[in-house]
Structure 1
Amino acid sequence: MAPSVPRTRAAAALRMKQIALDNQGRTIRRLRAQLAIERRGLATTKKELEDTQVALEASHKVIAVLTEIGLSMSKKIEIMKVKKQQVRANHVECHQKFQARIHEAEDSMQAQHLIIEALVDEKDSLLQTIHGLQESNNAPPHSMVIGRKNRKKNRKRKRLRIFLWARER
């Protein structure tokens, strides 16, 4: 028995080495499989990162364009505000000019009204004087014609006075 023991020990040692090698092979295969899975995961992550980078760059471009549009709109708004103020100033100026013209016209109309009244009074006075002279001289019926004309003119004057009176109110 003694001679077979070393063989058995050698065989057992070889068998142990074989088992160790088999275990190492399985571990290597398992590690290679994990490495392949990790590589695929890294490739997916890398692709996602690239997609995110592209989306981020596009987002930055959109933000830049929107910022530019916003600045442009702000400038336009400021220009519109300035124009609005100018329009208001022009409107106030025009309104004041028109008010001045209206006051001038009203003053002129009042002056003309006073002149017309004075002329009407003077005309009435002259007509009374003429009528008195004609009566003293036994005037012809010409005064009747003048009376008809005066009635028409008096109606016109009365309308004018009513118009001017209403205008003053």
Structure 2
Amino acid sequence: MTREQRTVSMLVGVVVLMGGLAWAAVPFYNWFCKVTGYGGTTQTAEQPSDEMIDEVVRVRFDANTDKNLDWTFRPMETKMELKIGENAMAFYEAVNNSDEPITGTASYNVAPDVAGYYFIKVQCFCFTEQTLQPGERVEMPINFYVDPELVDDRDAKWVRDITLSYTFHRTEPKQAALDLAPADAVN
């Protein structure tokens, strides 16, 4: 193999390696955020908390909509005080202001970021897409708690004010996407 061929082989290898790393970056980042709570990513649980401590945390609720979504979206309660470990339920309201059915999906985060690892969602409207008919109004629940382990974390133990923020984005309903796919691609 000549020197030029080795150089070309090495460059092709570098390009393939970088392409593979780029492909793996998004799933790896999502996994990392979920495991560590980085960037305010919340955690999920199958069941409510079975431990509560006598310290209070204040949760503020925030709501936003993407400019392409003709919905009114707001928290029905803007703040709540609860004991750390206490199971709580809050509601958000969404109204479709258009004359057509619209499907939306909520993205979310928690501030400060360090609280994300300890903010546990048991049930949330953000786990699935939401389709609202023209003029339809719905109340969407979130069941959550703040993990008592928060007080033992040297970086998070000072957190007593948490903001839970949602932004709804317009999405195509999954069933409609399946209806539009070629028949042989849906298997």
* Bin of the TM-score, shorter chain as denominator length: under 0.3
TM-score normalized by structure 1? Answer: 0.26
Answer with 1 or 2: which has the greater Rg: 1
If each structure's helix is expressed as a fraction of its own residues, which one has the higher value? 1
**More relative contact order in 1 or in 2 (CA 8 Å, sep 6+)?**
2
Q: Which has the higher strand share?
A: 2
How does the TM-score come out when normalised to structure 2?
0.24
